[in-house]
A and B are shown apart, each in its own frame.
Chain A
């Protein structure tokens, strides 16, 4: 009885921060604030005979000993998780065999005895010469490791408050980061000098919303590297990088956007309202899709397999909303740790 009530209370208070599709495109992994990672099978959830049980995780394991997992990313063989502990890598083949073990792990360099910075965002940069992992988090810096030998190659310092989100630019040569200090900085990933450009959306009258704060929570680059989109306390806005000026804003009254991405000539974003916003690049709202979670932390589109092309949304509930036609929610997967 107590077990049951404990479990239902855990489900009620669960927040799923991040998700990631497997390299084959058939599975989706999601990680929550209890440090658990659940794997769902998209094939069985989308099949015509799907029922309640096919929308539960096929496997669930603890990815972080104590603490939450804030970000997941995947390479061809590894699932990499990071949050309040170390950055850990798990093999997808081990996960499919239900026996995952940490293949390697990286930890942020400690600056003091009592500091334990969390990692908020990780990105993998795959090049011919080497594969690198970039991580940004609570210690205000962005660390770059070489994944083949585990060496810390570079640290980009300059932010005055923790880093919310990072993304890559110019085929991995440059890195863009959004931070709580209100700046979006563009760095040269090879050198450890200061940021090449600093954008401050909260200072422009077009985007700034002083009542929401100056923090920038999400940043994304478009495919041609000409446009950057960022949002958070200031309004979600696109910036033209040649002239470093904001060009269009996306109106989300009363809601700060936590996640944004470019998808096929449109922009998809989610934030503190229970809906996923689809926009045209000039700021016009194309559609709003209601979701179960009241705040959205991550949106992902499965581009690996065409027949499993879904849009999945996670937020501060135990449900993962899956949309096959991006205009409405088809069904929800439920993160129930077994």
Chain B
């Protein structure tokens, strides 16, 4: 009657479900021994049937526990494969993350460069078109040329007029000189005639 904790623990460990298996085996043994001892009559047949049913019950529990053990093994296998698959997926995902990170960096850099180009383009746009300015320069050059030509022509005209005036003025002076001489000659002759008259 000294049922200690260890014995209870051991009993619970050994027994599968409920505490019946051990009791059933003990019962079976007792029944068998009683049956072998008892005389052959209708009661013993019943006991015999009862023994057979107890045996089949024990066999049934045995089969069940064997099947449960196999099922556990298979479940474990299943979980192992699942674990492995998940680990592989995690590795792939981390690789992808690092790739994406570097892509992100690249994209950020590209965006920054694009923004810088845009800013420069805006500044460039404020300045006038190169073609327009070259056209303006060309037209200005042409205008300059025509003005220069006109200036030259006018200068030449001025020169020739000046020469003509010079010729005219020298002719006038010469004429003036001749006329003065003539006047002087005429005066001298008058004086001479006056002197001749008075003497």
Contact = CB atoms under 8 A, between A and B. Distances in A.
Interface of A: 226-227, 238, 240, 243, 245, 247-248, 264-266, 280-282
Interface centre among A238, A264, A265 (most CB of B within 10 A): A265
Interface centre among A226, A227, A243, A282 (most CB of B within 10 A): A282
Nearest to A265: B112
Interface stretch (B3-11, B32-40, B117-125): B117-125
Contacts, number: 32
A264 B109 CA distance: 8
A226 B112 CA distance: 13
B101 to A, nearest CB: 13
A239 to B, nearest CB: 10
What band does the interface of chain B fall in when counting residues whose beta carbon is under 8 Å from A?
10 to 19
A282 B108 contact: no
B116 interface: yes
Contact of A243 (B111, B112, B118, B123): B123
Interface in B82-115: 108-109, 111-112, 115
A237 to B, nearest CB: 10
Contacts of B109: 265
Contact of B123 (A247, A266, A281, A282): A247
Contact of B115 (A226, A240, A282): A282
A15 to B, nearest CB: 34
A contact face: mostly helix, strand, loop, or mixed = strand
Contact of B119 (A240, A264, A265): A240
Contacts of A281: 112, 115-116, 119
Nearest to B116: A281
Contacts of A243: 123
A247 B108 contact: no
A280 B115 contact: yes
B54 to A, nearest CB: 62
A248 B123 CA distance: 9
Interface of B: 108-109, 111-112, 115-116, 118-120, 122-123
A240 B111 contact: no
A247 B119 contact: yes
Nearest to B112: A265
A265 B120 CA distance: 17
Contact of A264 (B108, B116, B118, B122): B108
Given A264-B108, A265-B108, A265-B111, A227 B116 contact: yes
19 contacts: A227-B116, A240-B119, A245-B123, A247-B119, A247-B120, A247-B122, A248-B115, A248-B119, A264-B108, A265-B111, A266-B112, A280-B112, A280-B115, A281-B112, A281-B116, A281-B119, A282-B115, A282-B116, A282-B118
Contacts of B122: 247
Nearest to A267: B112
Contacts of A238: 119
* A-B residue pairs, 9 tightest by C-beta: A247-B119, A282-B115, A265-B112, A265-B108, A248-B119, A281-B115, A245-B123, A281-B112, A247-B123
Contacts of A227: 116
A210 to B, nearest CB: 22
Contacts of A248: 115, 119
A61 B77 CA distance: 64
Contacts of A265: 108-109, 111-112
Nearest to B107: A265
A243 B120 CA distance: 10
Contacts of B111: 265, 280
A152 B157 CA distance: 73
Contacts of A280: 111-112, 115
B55 to A, nearest CB: 63
B104 to A, nearest CB: 11
A281 B109 CA distance: 11
A264 B107 CA distance: 12
B70 to A, nearest CB: 46
Contacts of B108: 264-265
A227 B119 CA distance: 11
A247 B116 CA distance: 8
B120 A240 contact: yes
Nearest to A240: B120
